[in-house]
Amino acid sequence: MLDIKVIRHDPEGIQRALDRRGSGVSIAEIVEVDQQVRRLIAEQEALNQRGNQIAASFKTGEVPAEQMEQRRQESRDIKTRRGEIDVALKELEPRREALLLAVPNVPDSSVPDGADQTGNIELKCWGDVRAIHEPKHHYEIGTALGMLDFDRGVKLAGSRFTVLSGFGARLERALMNFMLDTHGDTGYGEVFPPALVNSASLVGTGQLPKFQAELFRCADDDLYLIPTAEVPVTNLYRDEIVDESLLPILHCAYTPCFRREAGAAGKDTRGYIRQRQFNKVELVKFTIADMSAQEHEKLTRDAEGILEALGLPYRRVLLCAGDMGFGGRKCYDLEVWFPAQNKYREISSCTNFGDFQARRANLRYRPKGGGKPEFMHTINGSGLAIGRTLAAILENFQEPDGSVTVPEVLRPYLGGVVTRIDSK
């Protein structure tokens, strides 16, 4: 959520910044409603002050007899008007809040202009792309090796669900443990949060109200299946005040994630790329404004470290203003190479939100020198999406005989003796 004080101070500048995103959002209505609210509150305060003066004059007997009825009528008029203002504010203040919740974050000045992914900038490429003769898709390899069972996933739950069997299940679990162990060694405190959260948690991170259609909701409760561990982990400190000495706080979390993929009709209908249930290790940081950019770079490098340890070719892309997510101030996408598709595919979005989420979730810290609590900055990114990592391994390390070489760092998690997965 944007700071209403900043909008009041420079509405034209905020509008120009939002126009860079191409979101079509106008803050004119917010400014108008905010002005109405402030005028009513100012009138309310003046009425309260005058009402108190009249009440005091009655008690002291200072009102001449010929003015008593006039004062009583003024007091009745004040009471009536205060009631009208209360009614108006009960409508206008929630309206202002709803309008603010619908406004995306302002892009950082270092974010390039652009309407879509064509405006993104490739910052680096890492790793050697293997020359593979007629590479097979991960779903062909996984099915042939008995690792991915798409038909039974559909039978159990419908489209975009998959059953992992044998080395498919073992490799998924190995990746999860490897990622958690690696990030733990880097300083991230591991948490294992609920897979269900209330609506306040989703409002706090920006999924609600805008992305309601993407969420799975429990019909009888105010509970939703999480679309990412970002939601529960970011909300761990909601409505709390943390001492600055504890910052930055670093967390990593494994969770299953659930998304309707409502807008993905016709996209990645085959394979293990775009699932309605998938596993992910998430990295979340809480920090202060002065350290925000630095911590964002470090988190991105931590996610890249997983890809490099696995030997998977990838690239880092700086997203342009028009391609960033709703809450992002600056975002790097990490894209891993898929030989059969002959292109890079997103495997992690490492995003700096500034104080956008903190204002929505009321995440604050108390400065070391004392004084008024301030809003934290939040940063998160996948470290990594496990299913997409598994799919990338199948494609990048496929062999001519149909087997798959296991990355060396994963072998201890598979008993230490498995170097290759084959159909035997």
346 carries an active-site annotation: yes
| C-alpha 265, offset from chain centre | 23
The 10 Å Cβ neighbour count of residue 402 is 14
Active site residue 349: yes
Q: Which of 292, 348, 349, 382 is catalytic?
A: 349
How is residue 384 written in tokens?
């990594």
172 is catalytic: no
- 238, 274, 301, 411: the catalytic one is 274
Q: Active site residue: 82, 346, 374, 411, which one?
A: 346
Q: Which is it for the CA torsion 242, 247, 248, 251, positive or negative?
A: negative
For every residue of 131-178, DSSP letters joined together read --SSPPPHHHHHHHTT-EEHHHHHHHH-TT--EE-THHHHHHHHHHHH
User: How far is the C-alpha of 265 from the C-alpha of 251, rounded, in Å?
Assistant: 34
Residue 29 CA to its chain's centroid (Å): 26
Beta strands 121-126; 314-318: pairing state: antiparallel
Active site residue 66: no
Other beta carbons within 10 Å of 63: 16
Tokens at 288, concatenated? 């202060």
Active site residue: 96, 160, 259, 360, which one?
A: 259
Q: Is the dihedral of CA 120, 125, 342, 299 positive or negative?
A: negative
Q: Which of 170, 276, 329, 388 is an active site residue?
A: 388
Residue numbers annotated as active site: 259, 274, 346, 349, 388
